[in-house]
Structure 1
Amino acid sequence: MSVSERDPVSGYATTGHDWNGIKELNSPIPRIVLWFLAVTHIYAVISWVLLPSWPLIDTHTTGLVGVDQKTAVATDIASADAARADWMSALATEDYDSLRANSDLMARAKVTAAAVFGQNCQVCHQKGGRGGPGFPGLSDDIWLWGGTAEQIETTLRHGINSPDPDTHFAPMPAFGRDGLLSRPEITTLTDYVMTLQKGVIAGDTSEGAVLFQANCVGCHGEDAKGVEGTGAQNLTDTDWLYGGDAATIRQTLLNGRQGVMPAWQNRLSDADIRMLALYVEGLSKGSGDAE
């Protein structure tokens, strides 16, 4: 009969495994681990009986306690809506001048609107409305469709280049892709647009100026400063929606731009839309959360 080897320090028998002189002990599982496993298994069985747990074909077991988190959340939301019904109703119905004059309501709306903005707008326009490539900044005084709350509400409701029948519609043509201009003409026009930060020179008869007059002034204006309410941006300043470097301008002329903003009137309530309009108006005036 073989005699098992025992560790002289712990007294436990070894398993016979040896790794470079290190021998594995056949030590028992600690009792605290066994107790932990027992308690967690008992807790799981009790939870299966008392709480909603097992899925069925088209429902689930509800448990003896009858806990229903979905109903609880719906109740909490209904309670919150009831608590703010008075001032939310005012947001949906009163004119903007009355709302702006109501400092208490504006203070409440600002806090709530910041959350609504974060949930729905911030992913594109960034925190504080600072914007980014392809997404206009909302914290300055440069507007393509108007920066009053009334104008912002219209943009929010119907979107830009969206499927809404009343959307703002202003796509930038693809002059190169659609064969409206040749590649050499695109290059000439790109070079000309790069000079517009110095302003349009009256009586300029250069090829670039002629191409601009023939193809661009209908939207961007004779002075290239754009026309608010048409979606055509000012080409004489340093604020560019997609970028003002030569490569980006060339891409814009070649392939056009068809940026889309969703129409929110079927996604948000009237009160939420008008609250957002006031909030965004405040961002451009420095009274919003522009962090």
Structure 2
Amino acid sequence: MSDKPIDELSGVETTGHEWDGIRELNNPMPRWWVWTFYATILWAVGYAIAYPSIPLIRDTTKGLIGFSSRAELQHEMNNAKIEQARLDVLIAAKSVEEIDADPTLREFAIAGGASAFKVNCAPCHGSGATGAPGFPNLNDDDWLWGGSLPAIQQTIAHGIRFDADPETHVSEMPAFGDVLERTQIRQVAAYIWALTNTVSDPAAADAGKQVFLDNCAVCHGEDDRGKQEFGAPNLADAIWLKGRGEQAIIRQVTLPKHGVMPAWSARLGETTVKELTVFVHSLGGGK
């Protein structure tokens, strides 16, 4: 007979333990819980036998079914490389327009182009391709040399003012500090700034229009919207590459800054250049 106290209210035997006058009832665990516990033990034993799980000195048990997560990962990686090689061959054989028109190739090219962009282009154009002073924002609609797929491909492949590539884009704005008087430079700067902003001297802006037509319109156009065959920017929008404000325009007119972009074709290969082209075009500003 048990010598453990019986609880007076419930009539259930206690465990014999007491804390501050409180005694614990010795109720058995529910049968469903006990059987579930036994089942988990059996499952664990079966899992340890079927799968690699028991550590040895230099290895682990292999398991009866021979499963290996590393082997499975390697198999998936091999399949991915095979598919990647297949798509690379297709991209190499097709034009950028054909790549962009094929949903599968376009998705693959954008992914590859985004990766190549981060490694090669982001130092100048920024990780989000938003550019910086002197480096174009590739998300907007302002394109110096054209925003179509072939135009973007040409620019990436052969660069801008890159002496080592004979097919590079070449244009050079004269230093008008040697051509125009200071007053004329201030007037044309006021005129250009007045196209999209309020100027401090409207009279100077009015006079600057004729200076512009006589000296600048041949490249930037009489409508101020630029000519892509010369790489001349559109001056009638609110996008500024070299700096904002009349003083920045005066400096650029007086002694222009000319950016240089490497020719990436020889460095990256035609396939990567095509992927970069499709990626840049997909940013939203491509035509």
Name the TM tier (shorter chain): 0.5 to 0.7
Paired with 1:165 and 1:97, the residues of 2 have a C-alpha distance of 25
**1:159–1:79 CA distance, 2 compared to 1 (3 A):** farther
The structure whose Rg is larger is 2
Change beyond 3 A, Cα 1:272–1:231? same
**How has the CA–CA distance of structure 1 residues 265 and 80 changed in structure 2, closer, same or farther, with 3 Å as cutoff?**
farther
Alpha-carbon spacing, 1:89–1:243, altered in 2? closer, same or farther (3 Å): same
Give the equivalent residue in structure 1 for 2:168: 167
Contact 1:192 1:209 survives alignment (8 Å) = yes
Question: What whole-Å deviation, never above 9, does each CA across 1:240-278 have from its counterpart, x for those lacking one?
Answer: 111230111011011112111111111111100011000
State how many pairs are aligned. 203
Give the conservation status (yes or no) of the 8 Å contact 1:171–1:258.
yes
The answer as to whether partners of 2:109 and 2:274 remain within 8 angstroms in 1 is no
TM-score (norm 1): 0.64
Structure 1 segment 114-153 matched on structure 2, within 5 A:
114-153=114-153
2:187 equivalent in structure 1 = 188
Q: Given that residues 135 and 241 in structure 1 are in contact (C-alpha distance below 8 angstroms), is that contact kept between their aligned partners in structure 2?
A: yes
Letter in 2 for 1:96: V
Identical columns (%): 37
CA–CA separation in structure 1 for the residues paired with 2:206 and 2:108: 56
Structure 2 unmatched runs, 5+: 1-77, 199-203
d(CA) in 2 for partners of 1:193 and 1:187? 10
Shift of 1:102: 2.3
Structure 1: 5+ residue runs without aligned partners?
Answer: 1-77, 287-291
3-state SS in 2 of match to 1:197: coil
2:260 equivalent in structure 1? 260
Q: State whether residues 198 and 236 of structure 1, in contact with CA within 8 Å, keep that contact through their aligned partners in structure 2.
A: no
Structure 1 Cα separation of the partners of residues 124 and 95 of structure 2: 28
RMSD, aligned CA: 2.5
User: Which letter maps to 2:255?
Assistant: N
- After alignment, is 85-94 or 277-286 more displaced? 277-286
Quick check: 2:112–2:276 contact (8 Å CA) kept in 1? no
Normalising to structure 2: TM-score of the pair?
0.65
| CA–CA separation in structure 2 for the residues paired with 1:160 and 1:196 | 27
